[in-house]
Amino acid sequence: MDKAGLYIHIPFCTQKCNYCDFYSIKTNSTLVKNFLDAAIKELISYSDHPIFSNAEFVSIYFGGGTPSLLTSNQISRLLEQIKKQFHFTANFEFTIEANPESLSLAKLKQYHKIGVNRLSIGIQSFNDSELNRLSRLHDSNQAIKSVGWAQQAGFDNISIDLIFAIPGQAQAQWESNLLQAIELNPQHISTYCLTIAPGTPLEKKIINGQEEKASEETERKMYLSTIEILSEYGFDFYEISNFAKAGYECRHNKMYWNLSPYLGIGPAAHSYWENQRQWNVKSLAVYLNSLKNNKKPLGDKENLSLEQKILEYIFLHLRTSEGIDIRKFKQSFNISFKNKYQHAIKKMNGYPGNKLFKLERNHFRLTREGFVLFDEICSYFA
């Protein structure tokens, strides 16, 4: 039986952050109700899917948007349909992304009671000035309280999201954010270098000279210090942006990195199985209308060629600390990794400065400096 993951995109926010290019719209009670009706209809449409109807799901992940704007009753309604329809492992992981300003102790107790067992809290910074720069709605005090409430509510699998290389952010402040996160004793920390996405308000501010993008050297120093500090405090560096205490790696994200099947529900959600990828329309209005007319809300789909699948395998596995298992690569594709990609390995060997990869015990892994240059290294293989 295939193992699979389920992702549900909750496309609602109180206010869109100035750096965000994920699909979301302003929350509205009527739209939320209509979305829940449509999402249940979309779930039912996969009841006879050749892969997902027979798969054993190991994870549910509510992403967004701001899933924590939903009440526990609304989440229960979706969960009831999900459990009615799909098979799950005994101890499946159920993650909800949350923003501090949308949480309370009472809400978190209700979430825990209905079966949510993992929280991913989008804190981003513990510095009020930086939060204002990112147009976040919470302050540092709310951020700290939200983690404490989650622990009081019974959650013992909490992840904190942080962003570095925020305009104007100093190295010392970034390290202070990391130490504050560590002090709160979460089981998992995700750290992301701020991406200046095209068309966002933050990009316009940078173009107009109102904000200054961090330099590549600043990004590099902050990233390397992240690995050093979190490793020192017992967080395993298991993926390019993710650190976990032993046994608390995100099972859902590992499904993506291992190219396991996953089903995406909701506007802009992606699905993958075997050699096929598909994604839903990036519009709630079109999504609702499609399902109202008994049509799948697909934006597009593609069948991956062998070469595409090989490159995806390489890119996704290079993101992880485990890297590429050369023997498994050979078994999967009947190709020698070292022979096929000798040109990429040669380029990496010739890169000035620090060594970018290690080849040991039949695993090809990036070094810390290699992770800094991840996008460039991927271009060598492509």
Q: How confident is the model at residue 334, as a pLDDT?
A: 95
CA dist., res. 265 & res. 36, Å (int): 11
The radius of gyration of the chain from alpha carbons, rounded to an integer in Å, stands at 21
Q: Is residue 285 part of a domain?
A: no
Domain residue limits at 363 = 306-381
- Distance, CA of 27 to chain centre: 22
Q: Is residue 277 part of a domain?
A: no
Q: How confident is the model at residue 240, as a pLDDT?
A: 97
98 phi/psi in degrees, rounded to 5: -145, 145
Q: How confident is the model at residue 96, as a pLDDT?
A: 98
Same domain? 358 vs 241: no
Same domain? 375 vs 230: no
Backbone angle region of 344, left / alpha / beta, with phi > 0 → left and psi within -120 to 50 → alpha: alpha
Domain total of the chain = 2
CATH code of 320's domain: 1.10.10.920
Q: How confident is the model at residue 372, as a pLDDT?
A: 95
Write out the H or E segment, with its range, that includes residue 92: strand 87-98
Strand partners of residue 97: 120
Q: Is residue 267 part of a domain?
A: no
CA dist., res. 293 & res. 377, Å (int): 45
Q: How confident is the model at residue 350, as a pLDDT?
A: 86
Same domain? 231 vs 351: no
Same domain? 192 vs 86: yes
* Residue 366 CA neighbour count, 13 Å, CB half: 25
Same domain? 224 vs 146: yes
Q: Is residue 77 part of a domain?
A: yes
Same domain? 329 vs 249: no
Q: Is residue 167 part of a domain?
A: yes
pTM: 0.96
Q: Is residue 297 part of a domain?
A: no
Same domain? 138 vs 26: yes
Strand partners of residue 280: 298
Q: Is residue 177 part of a domain?
A: yes
- Distance, CA of 49 to chain centre: 25
Same domain? 234 vs 356: no
Sheet architecture: strand order including 357-360: 324-325, 363-366, 357-360
Same domain? 193 vs 328: no
Same domain? 175 vs 314: no
CA dist., res. 31 & res. 37, Å (int): 10
Question: Where among 195, 227, 257 does a domain terminate?
Answer: 257
Same domain? 339 vs 252: no
Same domain? 191 vs 58: yes
Q: Is residue 364 part of a domain?
A: yes
Question: Where among 193, 223, 257 does a domain terminate?
Answer: 257
Write out the chain's pLDDT in tens, 382 residues: 789 999 999 999 999 999 998 999 999 999 999 999 999 999 999 999 999 999 999 999 999 999 999 999 999 999 999 999 999 999 999 999 999 999 999 999 999 999 999 999 999 999 999 999 999 999 999 999 999 999 999 999 999 999 999 999 999 999 999 999 999 999 999 999 999 999 999 999 999 999 999 999 999 999 999 999 999 999 999 999 999 999 999 999 999 999 999 999 999 999 999 989 999 999 999 999 999 999 999 999 999 999 999 999 999 999 999 999 999 999 999 999 999 999 999 999 988 878 999 998 899 999 999 999 999 999 999 8
CATH code of 120's domain: 3.20.20.70
